[in-house]
Amino acid sequence: MRLAKYLAHSGVASRRKAEVVISDGRVRVGGQVVTDPATNVEIGEDIKVDGRSVVPEGHEVWVVNKPIDVISTADEPGKRVAVVDLVDSQARLYPVGRLDADSTGIILLSNNGELANRMTHPRYGVKKTYRVGLVRRINDAELRSLETGVRLDDGPTAPAEVRRISERSFDISIREGRNRQIRRMAEAVGNEVVELKRISIGHLKLGRLGVGKYRLLDEQEVARLWKDAEHE
């Protein structure tokens, strides 16, 4: 098995980030620094990252209903809570993608670096749906603009699926993952987001999972996530 894949399967990081960790000289195999991510290794070898032994662990995927002001990181040195601190697990979990501190809703945590990469890499276009609350009423023409695409400072957005909920709220499904994209899209049509909740990732829906609550996905649910990431 290639070293980068081994680290990803061990929950160190996604495969792409594991390649950076290796290239930076932070990995030793049998006591020797290895900087080539393609180096072949075997399970049971003495492999260390930053001096700590790395062994493959059983993969876990958790779904969390992230509260507001919780940070989508594996470690939060400040006063706010990191999302991984909400889950009672001994596995080295990492957020799969991000959800802004001022947004709520569904986020995945996992130690499966390959799955995390599939769920977040733009080439796989995993659909994510958000419920959006606005300051002002939004008209049908503005909703159509969001659906067909609006121009942002980093380029036009791809077509989206939009469904009105009320005069000041709608659901939107996108396959992109730009920084604060939904909020910027609302600003592009002259409005402002006051509440943003992600309600689904791929097939997986938030449902009745309470705020701050979490649950471990079963094998069938994880298999469906892999299928969601087959889109290219």
pLDDT tens per residue across span 130-154:
999 999 999 999 999 999 999 999 9
Q: Which residues are catalytic?
A: 100
Residue 49 shares a structural domain with residue 164: no
Give me the CATH number covering residue 212. Answer: 3.30.70.580
Per-residue pLDDT tens for 37-52?
999 998 788 999 999 9
Task: Give the DSSP per-residue string, 98-154.
Answer: ---TT-EEEEEEES-HHHHHHHH-GGG---EEEEEEESS---HHHHHHHHH--EETT
Residue 175 shares a structural domain with residue 157: yes
Q: Which domain holds residue 24?
A: 3-53
Residue 46 shares a structural domain with residue 24: yes
Residue 135 shares a structural domain with residue 92: no
Residue 72 shares a structural domain with residue 180: no
Give me the CATH number covering residue 25. Answer: 3.10.290.10
Q: What pLDDT is attached to residue 77?
A: 64
